[in-house]
Structure 1
Amino acid sequence: MKPIFLILLIISISACKEQKPAEDLSSSVIIDNAIEKAGGNILDTAIVSFRFRNLFYRARRDNGLYELERCTDAACKDTLDQLTNSDFKRFINEKQIKLADSLIAGLSGSVNSVHYFSVLPYGLDAEAVQAKKIGVDTINGKTYYEVHVSFAEDGGGEDFEDEYMYWFNTENFEVDYLAYNYHVNEGGTRFREAINPRIVNGVRFVDYINYEPETTFPPLEDLDSLFQAGKLKELSRIILEDVQVN
């Protein structure tokens, strides 16, 4: 019986070595796993379209190149806003119009924001992202990695000063909650709870309940506790309709 016991003991020790505890995973490993499991490899070369608050959105991605659009009509013939790696353009009745520089930043930021949130955690491995794992915490009985994300000024976009916190489920790496501080329009803090998860052609999409804390700019890592204590006010719901992936 002694040889069999020794064999079982060796197998058990090897298994323990192979399975790293939650605390040992780095932020980059957590993010890479989350992107992969959410269908990130499909999004690298996909066309994604959806409706959000009576506007029509379409994103074309090709291994780092992107064309992000927002239209007032399904055919994109009325008003079309188009953001690419190189510039921002507005078309009205299919003709490009000239925009003041002061308008371009706000319009491009609003287009980018909707597309950014629509495919999270996709994009969290970008070069400008500065991710740091804060720790492991529990929300409503489930365990999560807490990862803080900020952005370098070079490549971080107009809102590079914004900061985020993501809660990744330790079992499946899904982003069930996120929070962020933003600085446009006098700034504020938001906490989002993911709802209605679904898979569309291999890509995971969610909607969100959007919450606001009572105080201004509380530490982002405290928002999960405030959420569980019922101290966040629901502001809105972020619902994506007619999602398609090609």
Structure 2
Amino acid sequence: MRYFLLVFSVLIFSCNPQKNKIQAENIIDQTIIYSGSNRVSNSDISFVFRDKFYTAVRAKGNFTLTRSFDDIKDVLTNNGFTRFVNGSKVDLSQEDIKKYTGAVNSVHYFSVLPHGLHDEAVHKKLLANTTIKGEDYFKIQITFDEDGGGEDHQDVFIYWVGKEDYLIDYFAYSYEVNGGGIRFRAIKNENYIGGIRFVDYYNYKPKNNTITLQNIDKAFVDDELEMVSEIVLEKVNVKPFY
């Protein structure tokens, strides 16, 4: 009888998308608070990633994201993208604007996760809980509206949120640009700077094309992924706006 009640309750939960949505949103809300990502919206952040210097100023819904290397400075704001070479603005094709916008935005987006996961264009779905290396995790899928979801709105993300600390130790995503693929990131190191959690990751891809986004955590445990890079932020500095 106890087994029947358990199965029945799971079926009721799985058939109640509104309850699923609320619970997933509550988990992400806690993740944002525990990681200090609620501070990102009013801050001046800078860091170095792969020999390029990045800055992000966010305040009152406005943002200015930059990337600087050699004699080039890329600037992305609410109003669009601009490239400067030796301090002078240069004309770009729409194709180049799209490419450079994506390159700048993606680094800044990943640098401050889970900031941004409460945006209106974000949809959250609680998947079955899982265990990785003896730790229990909530497993949450993220999808995006086309309107407000950015150039890569078709990407799908999964986040593994610790049940004990409400922090993200792993995440994965599928993407369609450059031929598409799947990536899985596992925590390498964490640092709290200015009250915000910054995480370095090991970056993996599947060893074969039978591995799906939904089962990539099992593939990680079963050593069916290969590491392709490390995601490391250097010289991180945070100036909060109060």
Q: Which residue of 2 aligns with 1:224?
A: 217
Aligned positions of 1:1-246 closer than 5 A: 26-72=23-69, 78-216=71-209, 218-246=211-239
- Displacement of 1:166: 0.4
The structure whose Rg is larger is 1
CA separation in 2, counterparts of 1:162 and 1:41? 24
Amino acid at match of 1:214: K
SS in 2 for 1:160: coil
CA separation in 1, counterparts of 2:65 and 2:148? 17
- Work out the percentage of aligned pairs sharing the same amino acid: 43
- Displacement of 1:171: 1.0
Task: Tell whether the 8 Å contact from 1:134 to 1:146 is kept in structure 2 after alignment.
Answer: yes
RMSD: 1.5
**TM-aligned CA distance change 1:111 to 1:155, over 3 Å:** same
CA separation in 2, counterparts of 1:243 and 1:217? 38
**TM-aligned CA distance change 1:236 to 1:126, over 3 Å:** same
Amino acid at match of 2:34: K
Aligned length: 220
Q: Runs of 5+ in structure 1 lacking a partner?
A: 1-22
**TM-aligned CA distance change 1:172 to 1:245, over 3 Å:** same
Task: Tell whether the 8 Å contact from 2:211 to 2:219 is kept in structure 1 after alignment.
Answer: no
SS in 1 for 2:143: strand
TM-score by length of 1: 0.86
Q: Runs of 5+ in structure 2 lacking a partner?
A: 1-19
SS in 1 for 2:92: coil
SS in 2 for 1:107: helix
Deviations 1:124-145 (A, max 9, x none): 1111111101121100000000
CA separation in 2, counterparts of 1:83 and 1:134? 34
**TM-aligned CA distance change 1:243 to 1:138, over 3 Å:** same
